[in-house]
């Protein structure tokens, strides 16, 4: 049945060629026609012949015009504006909000894969934060706020907005240099004492403490 249906369809196409009629490909790989109206007429005529001659087990083919939108639709879907001039930044902590929807020029993010800057038009990104400084440039290199974060995540969206979600965050100028040095010395000694004889949990906690206090010590202006 399938063979006879295919033979009948091919015979109809040969008759169309002999009569000077247009030929259409079975798939979207066929040659393109410039006239969209002619494409639709060719498609409808072909499908009408196909339904008459093809076996019931054969589905109708698809055409490139099936996936093409009208010119008016494309223009309506086109974005009205380009990349905005400012980045909208949201900065969250579990116990508060440092900023929400604030328009800034740049945000520098400390990620475990390396520090990176976020400006308007940045590609969508998800990054895990490491202990370090989030520098928020409300005005490039002029109005800058620096926050020390211990950990968390940053999310950069396609609409030029970014979310920084930190477990802890404090302005760099609020860090106490003496307390930071004391904490650094404490965790350095603790890790040294645990090496080779402490359990894995205690060693991991000491390593995290040492990493955080080392980053805070580096963040404090000398």
Regarding whether 182 and 169 lie in a shared domain, the answer is no
Regarding whether 101 and 168 lie in a shared domain, the answer is yes
Regarding whether 130 and 145 lie in a shared domain, the answer is yes
Q: Is 28 helix (H, G, I), strand (E, B) or coil?
A: coil
Single out the residue of 189, 196, 201, 106 nearest to residue 145, CA to CA.
106
In the prediction, which pLDDT does 48 show?
80
Convert the pLDDT of each residue in 96-138 to its tens digit: 899 999 999 999 999 999 999 999 999 999 999 999 999 999 9
Do strands 96-104 and 87-93 pair parallel, antiparallel, or not at all (unpaired)? antiparallel
Regarding whether 183 and 128 lie in a shared domain, the answer is no
Q: Is residue 82 part of a domain?
A: no
Regarding whether 169 and 193 lie in a shared domain, the answer is no
Tell me the CATH number at 159.
2.60.15.10
Single out the residue of 133, 169, 155 nearest to residue 87, CA to CA.
155
Interval 35-56 mean pLDDT: 71
Which residue intervals of 19-55 are DSSP H helices? Answer: 36-53
User: What's the token pair of residue 144?
Assistant: 């800058």
Domain boundary residue among 29, 59, 77?
77
Quote the percentage of the chain above a pLDDT of 70. 73
Q: Is residue 181 part of a domain?
A: yes
Regarding whether 124 and 162 lie in a shared domain, the answer is yes
Domain boundary residue among 77, 108, 129?
77
For 218, other C-beta atoms within 10 Å of its C-beta total 13
Regarding whether 114 and 161 lie in a shared domain, the answer is yes
pLDDT higher than 80, residue 57: no
Which residues on neighbouring strands pair with residue 134, listed in sequence order? 147
Regarding whether 123 and 47 lie in a shared domain, the answer is no
Its domain, for residue 19, covers 2-77
Quote the percentage of the chain above a pLDDT of 90. 46
pTM over 0.75: no
Number of domains comprising the chain: 3
């Amino acid at each position: 049945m399938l063979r006879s249906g295919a033979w009948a369809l091919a015979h109809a196409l040969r008759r169309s060629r002999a009569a000077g009629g247009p030929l259409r490909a079975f798939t979207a790989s066929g040659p393109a026609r410039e006239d969209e109206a002619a494409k639709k007429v060719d498609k409808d005529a072909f499908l009408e012949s196909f339904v008459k001659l093809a076996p019931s087990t054969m589905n109708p083919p698809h055409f490139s015009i099936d996936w093409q939108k009208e010119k008016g639709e494309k223009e309506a879907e086109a974005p009205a504006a380009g990349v905005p001039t400012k980045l909208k930044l949201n900065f969250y902590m579990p116990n508060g909000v440092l900023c929400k929807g604030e328009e800034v020029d740049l945000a520098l993010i400390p990620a475990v894969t390396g520090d990176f800057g976020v400006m308007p038009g940045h590609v969508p990104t998800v990054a895990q934060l490491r202990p370090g400084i989030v520098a928020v440039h409300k005005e490039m290199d002029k109005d800058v706020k620096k926050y020390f974060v211990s950990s968390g995540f940053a999310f950069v969206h396609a609409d030029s907005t970014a979310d920084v979600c930190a477990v802890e965050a404090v302005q760099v100028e609020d860090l106490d240099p003496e307390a930071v040095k004391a904490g650094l010395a404490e965790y350095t000694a603790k890790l040294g004492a645990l090496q080779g004889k402490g359990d894995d949990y205690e060693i991991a906690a000491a390593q995290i403490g040492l990493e955080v206090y080392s980053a805070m010590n580096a963040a404090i202006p000398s």
